[in-house]
Structure 1
Amino acid sequence: MIKNSFKRRSNAHPLAHMALRSAAAALMAVLCVAVQAAPAKVPGIYFGIGTESSEYWAATVVGAKAVASSVNARLQVMTSEFQGQKFLQDYGAIFAAGCKDCVAILDPVSSAFTKAIVDRATAADAKVITIWNRPDNIHPYDMDSGNWVAHIAFDGVESGYKNGMALCKAIGGKGGVVAIEGVADNPSTKQRFAGLKKALAECPGMKLLDRQYADWDQTKAQVLTRGWLARYSGNLKAVFSENDSMAIGAVAALKERGLAGKVAVSGSDGSVAALNLIKSGDMVSTMWIDGVMQGAFATALGYGAASGDIDLQKLSHAQRDVYLKQTLVTKDNVDEILNRKVDPADYTYEKVKARMWEGVASQIPASAFK
């Protein structure tokens, strides 16, 4: 998620690296014994992520590679390092060189870059799927050309609300809370805080003491939390963080004061590191998003549209502008998520296409990104 402006950062956890390496090895094994793959029907798939060091983004790549390999399609992973201008230039060069019927899948980093990238893809007659960031007033189905296949995100309001209510429960419905936000003027940042405000309204004993941006960054969140602990002392009962990386930074600051597990902390993304902090009692909750499925879903939809196997004219608005399902994780279900195994054989194009819409929660509502 982020991210931007939207920085989906998390310090990679050793268990996360082990899981992803295992998934990659399993993928190679599947490819060696699989039946003959179908010939490539698209010139290439260009999968744009925030950074390779993020556990979340690494998971999306596992899903994307599994689908692409199953149809013998060439997939190139590109990184923005959270610089929207970089993607605008990199994808612009690919489109300018000739990219008819290729597929571009990317987080534009900021909604400010979405339309420019879509316009360049359309001019090149490429297919494009955007993730996380789009302006509120444009949608894939607005484009007559059909080049903008879909936009894919997760419901930040739901994430903020459910994490906020988990904090309310953890502190007995009473006490001060601080909010560590992502990046200003970013859809997920705004949505997750809106969800927290909804929780505050339903939990009137939980009072917001302060809110500050930390740019999805663990170190910045740790510094912020240190300052809050000094300022609010015993009045600080909970820390609401808009992603796991910042939540981990908050926990680190609490550990410095011997307060880990005594001040409730929530996050979002469902990183292995955060899940283990929930298991140990140092965090209360996180919203787990299935990065592998997100990457596989986007790649399968993009490949299907570019190859002609999926007819966009037959898809509803709700199938082209979607929130995917997500799961609130607490101590009650953390083991289930931690023990989840990823088998790349389950993410071939045909298998993902067959269950594609099962992972969709809803159409993105109007004004969601304001």
Structure 2
Amino acid sequence: MTRSRRAIALATIAVSMAALAGCSASAVGSTSGAACAPEDIKLIGQVRNETNPYEKSWLDGGQELAESLDLEQKRLTYAGESPKQLEQIRQELSTGNPECMVLNVLPNSDSDTTPIVKAVEEAGAHVVTQWNKPADVHPWDGYDSWIAHITYDGVDSGYQIAKAMFESMGGEGNVIALQGILATAAAKDRFAGLELALEEYPGITLLDQQAADFDRTKAFDITKTLLTKYGADVGGVWAANDDMALGALKALDAAGLAGEVKVVGIDAVPEAVQAIEDGAITATVSSDGPWQGGIGLAMGYCALTGELDVTAQPNKNREFFAKQFLVTEDNAADYLTPSIDLADFDCANVFNRVDKALG
């Protein structure tokens, strides 16, 4: 599939359906009833920061999709500051033509999702949110511009990495846990997965748990403190993401314990996957950051060009757990270089990774 072929094909569909060269309220196929010429569509990806390699891979995936469509993706980062995130979005919505704008957004916390989607709804733009939202708020609850919410089964991923670590410890020993941002569903669910695994392995004891906010530096500092407190009693470090796992690994190295203490994380960033290959980390879970970065933009693009009628989709396609994959030494080589398959973003394929509905 070439860039020009796909862009031209979708442009032809949009023109034939809507007879437009821009946006109109009379066309069909999108959540708001508007359709846009492909070249008029503005793509925006927003994450906390690009120092986190997983979040950088998200924006890289969005850029690769954008380039395949002869478009650009605007990369926004808000440094984990909720007011800044919302202000960035409002600023974008106030410029240009929001009716031809697609945002693929990582809300900073569950409570940030509602004001984000309300701002997008008011401006007439389109948005896909990922990871965080209140459990009782849904895209089909009166929102015309909220295309979908995508997340991953955090309980399952937290459980999978815990089980892999416990098995590597022979089912016996003590562990410490590094939680993420406690106001997010991802952090809560992943820790719940750890707790489930602990119930199944009575020989494993959780010595301590601290919130390191998905941040490598905080994880390094906290792990140093906990190693000082518990010393050689620590046999494993469970981390709610790879960035924290890598911070813990650095602290273990500084304490002369690298290779003696098991470490697990989530995200399958290249540095962590390489550490799995090298035997320094036991396991991680891939949610496929590059795919996440592209899929939200692809959904919006297909809706705005008239090739995807979002309102005709069942609820399970508008709010879902996407497929995820456990990465261990047995398959780490397959995950060393994150990449995307542009076929995943064809309009007929955008729901191919729906694993199960939320709840």
TM-score range for the pair, normalised by the shorter chain length: 0.7 to 0.9
- 1:120-269 equivalences under 5 Å are 120-143=119-142, 145-269=143-267
Displacement after TM superposition at 1:259 (Å):
1.4
Q: Is the 8 A contact 2:158 2:191 kept in 1?
A: yes
Amino acid at match of 2:152: F
Q: Is the 8 A contact 1:101 1:307 kept in 2?
A: no
Encode CA deviations 1:204-235: one digit per residue, 9 max, x unaligned.
Answer: 11111111011212122122222222222232
Q: Residue 295 of structure 1 aligns with which residue?
A: 293
Q: Is the 8 A contact 1:297 1:352 kept in 2?
A: no
Q: Residue 15 of structure 1 aligns with which residue?
A: none
**What's the secondary structure of 2:7's corresponding residue?**
coil
**What's the secondary structure of 1:76's corresponding residue?**
strand
Identity of aligned residues (%): 33
Displacement after TM superposition at 1:37 (Å):
3.3
Amino acid at match of 2:120: A
Q: Residue 14 of structure 1 aligns with which residue?
A: none
Displacement after TM superposition at 1:36 (Å):
7.7
Task: Measure, in 2, the Cα distance between the counterparts of 1:228 and 1:237.
Answer: 12
Q: Is the 8 A contact 1:107 1:133 kept in 2?
A: yes
**What's the secondary structure of 1:89's corresponding residue?**
helix
More off after superposition, 321-330 vs 157-166: 321-330
Question: Over the residues paired in the alignment, what is the CA RMSD in angstroms?
Answer: 2.0
Displacement after TM superposition at 1:78 (Å):
1.4
Amino acid at match of 1:314: A
What is the TM-score when the length of structure 1 is the normalising length? 0.84
Q: Residue 335 of structure 2 aligns with which residue?
A: 337
Q: Residue 9 of structure 1 aligns with which residue?
A: none
Q: Is the 8 A contact 2:242 2:269 kept in 1?
A: yes
Task: Measure, in 2, the Cα distance between the counterparts of 1:272 and 1:43.
Answer: 31
Q: Residue 352 of structure 1 aligns with which residue?
A: 346
Q: Is the 8 A contact 1:168 1:203 kept in 2?
A: yes
Encode CA deviations 1:106-140: one digit per residue, 9 max, x unaligned.
Answer: 11212222111111111111111111111111011
- 1:67-82 equivalences under 5 Å are 67-82=65-80
Task: Measure, in 2, the Cα distance between the counterparts of 1:337 and 1:72.
Answer: 28
Amino acid at match of 1:37: A
Of 348, 362, 370, the match for 2:356: 362
Displacement after TM superposition at 1:319 (Å):
0.6
Amino acid at match of 1:133: N
Q: Residue 5 of structure 1 aligns with which residue?
A: none
More off after superposition, 56-65 vs 157-166: 56-65
Task: Measure, in 2, the Cα distance between the counterparts of 1:124 and 1:301.
Answer: 18
Q: Is the 8 A contact 2:212 2:244 kept in 1?
A: yes
**What's the secondary structure of 1:178's corresponding residue?**
strand
Cα gap change, 1:321 to 1:341, in 2 (>3 Å): closer
Q: Is the 8 A contact 1:175 1:206 kept in 2?
A: yes
- 1:23-172 equivalences under 5 Å are 31=3, 34-35=4-5, 37-38=7-8, 39=11, 40-41=37-38, 42-97=40-95, 98-143=97-142, 145-172=143-170
Q: Is the 8 A contact 1:59 1:292 kept in 2?
A: yes
Encode CA deviations 1:225-251: one digit per residue, 9 max, x unaligned.
Answer: 222222222321111011111111111
Task: Measure, in 2, the Cα distance between the counterparts of 1:95 and 1:272.
Answer: 34
Displacement after TM superposition at 1:300 (Å):
1.0
Task: Measure, in 1, the Cα distance between the counterparts of 2:355 and 2:343.
Answer: 22
Task: Measure, in 1, the Cα distance between the counterparts of 2:228 and 2:51.
Answer: 32
Cα gap change, 1:282 to 1:341, in 2 (>3 Å): closer
Displacement after TM superposition at 1:65 (Å):
2.3
Task: Measure, in 2, the Cα distance between the counterparts of 1:246 and 1:107.
Answer: 19
Amino acid at match of 1:265: V
Task: Measure, in 1, the Cα distance between the counterparts of 2:272 and 2:320.
Answer: 26
Amino acid at match of 2:104: I
Q: Is the 8 A contact 2:308 2:347 kept in 1?
A: no
Amino acid at match of 2:349: R
Q: Is the 8 A contact 1:160 1:195 kept in 2?
A: yes
Cα gap change, 1:234 to 1:113, in 2 (>3 Å): same
Displacement after TM superposition at 1:63 (Å):
2.4
Q: Is the 8 A contact 1:43 1:74 kept in 2?
A: no
Q: Is the 8 A contact 1:171 1:237 kept in 2?
A: yes
Task: Measure, in 2, the Cα distance between the counterparts of 1:150 and 1:123.
Answer: 17
**What's the secondary structure of 1:100's corresponding residue?**
helix
- 1:280-291 equivalences under 5 Å are 280-291=278-289
Q: Is the 8 A contact 1:67 1:348 kept in 2?
A: no
